[in-house]
Amino acid sequence: MAFGEALTENYKNYMKQVQKNAAVMAEEFIKHGYTIISGGTDNHSMLIDLRSKGVTGKDAENTLVKADITVNKNMVPFDTESPFVTSGIRVGTAAITSRGVVETEIPQIVELIDQVLMNIENESVINEVKTKVKALMGSRPLFQF
């Protein structure tokens, strides 16, 4: 079934959009002063080094979840933190692309992520971002039946 789906034109178009979204997302993170380990991306994901922002991967992951944004903590090259804390996060675009997000919406998403990460202990900002995330994604279910 999976191979059959992967051979369809719809899947090909979806994957092209995933890549467009990821490329724009990497560019936007760089504009916001984040370090993308590979300097950008040509696939669906990117590894972001948070050391210059003074945030650990664990804190980023846990705080972004409070704002209904999902990322994964991840070790970066020459990481000084333990694997349970990490100095980075991994971000991908497959799930948001499945929900209908296109590259023109990516700057807003990166801005929301940055707002949380730069205000990691400010519950008011986190809740404000959560409200914006719900407004952006509320009409786009994760699973469509």
Place of tokens 């979840």: 65
pLDDT the model gives residue 140:
87
Q: What's the CATH number for 8-137?
A: 3.90.1150.10
pLDDT digits (tens, 9 = 90+) for 46-72: 999 999 999 999 999 999 999 999 999
Which positions of the chain have pLDDT values less than 50?
none
Alpha-carbon gap, residue 108 to 87, rounded angstroms: 24
Alpha-carbon distance values, 54 to 29, 50, 51, 97 (Å): 15, 7, 5, 29
pLDDT at position 144 is 64
What's the rounded Cα separation, in Å, for the pair 91 and 144? 22
| pTM for the full predicted model | 0.93
**Domain residue spans in the chain?**
8-137
Query: Cα Rg for the chain, rounded, in angstroms?
Result: 16
